[in-house]
Amino acid sequence: MDNAFATQHKEELGRLRELIGQYRGRHGALIPVLQKAQDLFGYLPIEVQGIISEGLRIPLPEVYGVVTFYSQFTMVKKGKHQVAVCLGTACYIRGAKDILGEIQSRLGIEVGQTTDDGLFTIDGTRCIGACGLAPVITIDKEVYGRLEVRHIKGILEKYRED
């Protein structure tokens, strides 16, 4: 395992090993262990998958297959702030693509990626039920509607100062 990862996550790794101990030998253990591991780490890097594979005695390709199959699992480390751009029809018609383009170029990342400073992750979402405010984005639990490209810079800045 990557030593830096082991040092940074000593406590979580200890809890993961305990968790695996509780589930070892149980039928259908993989999915609940992956869910709990994702709660612990925020994502499922290959190091964590390797420990689960060894601990539950399930081949790594099988663990990896499950992680990549289910959309609830992610191998990408999430940033401190989740920027979700609604790509539903109403938002799309009202310019969500340009809003997304602006966010991507300001943060220098694509959908599904996290900035190097760990501050932002961009996601695309389906309709969040606020079509009257289209185009809409959410950052964490905050909703921003009737957006124009020129608003994006100021909105992102607020989160840099937190």
Enumerate binding residues for ligand FES (CB under 6 A): 86, 88-91, 127-128, 130-131, 134, 136
Residue nearest to ligand FES (CB): 88
**Helical spans, DSSP H, in 44-122:** 46-56, 60-69, 89-93, 96-107
When the beta carbons of 130 and 155 are compared against ligand FES, the nearer one is 130
Closest distance to ligand FES from the beta carbon of 86 (Å): 3
SS3 for 85? Answer: strand
Closest distance of CB 47 from ligand FES, Å? 37
H helix count then E strand count, the chain:
8, 4
Q: How far is the CB of 39 from ligand FES (least distance, A)?
A: 28
Nearer to ligand FES, 2 or 140 (CB): 140
Q: How far apart are CA 38 and CA 35, in angstroms?
A: 5
Give the shortest CB-90-to-ligand FES separation in angstroms.
Answer: 4
Closer Cβ to ligand FES, 51 or 130, answer by number: 130
Q: Are strands 120-125 and 142-144 parallel, antiparallel or unpaired?
A: unpaired
Contact 137, 144 (CB under 8 A): yes
